[in-house]
Amino acid sequence: MEQWTWRDARTGSERTGFNPPEGAKEVRQKPFYFQAITIKGEVLGGEAICLKVFRNLHQRMIRFTESGQIRRIRDYLVMEVNGIRVVTH
């Protein structure tokens, strides 16, 4: 979920990946599309940026790119990330 884009210092081209190298310029998070089920049973989805990960609680704090709304989603209720279906048990 936490992909980054940066400008490569050697070539000057824009790169995308999960761990930007030290010395990279213009580092910013890349939004991802997801769908999840809320505790009330509603389907929640849209483009968002992950702000924080709570590993012990299996939750993530995300901010929607369009509305700016900040929410917590539970990892085990996520159904899809960037078109890839997620199966959890």
pLDDT score at 88: 64
Q: What CA–CA distance (Å, rounded) separates 29 from 44?
A: 21
Q: What CA–CA distance (Å, rounded) separates 22 from 30?
A: 18
Mean of all residue pLDDT scores within the chain: 87
Q: Which of 41-50, 60-69, 80-89 has the lowest mean pLDDT?
A: 80-89
Percent of the chain with pLDDT over 70: 97
Give the confidence band of 12 by pLDDT, cuts at 50, 70, 90: confident
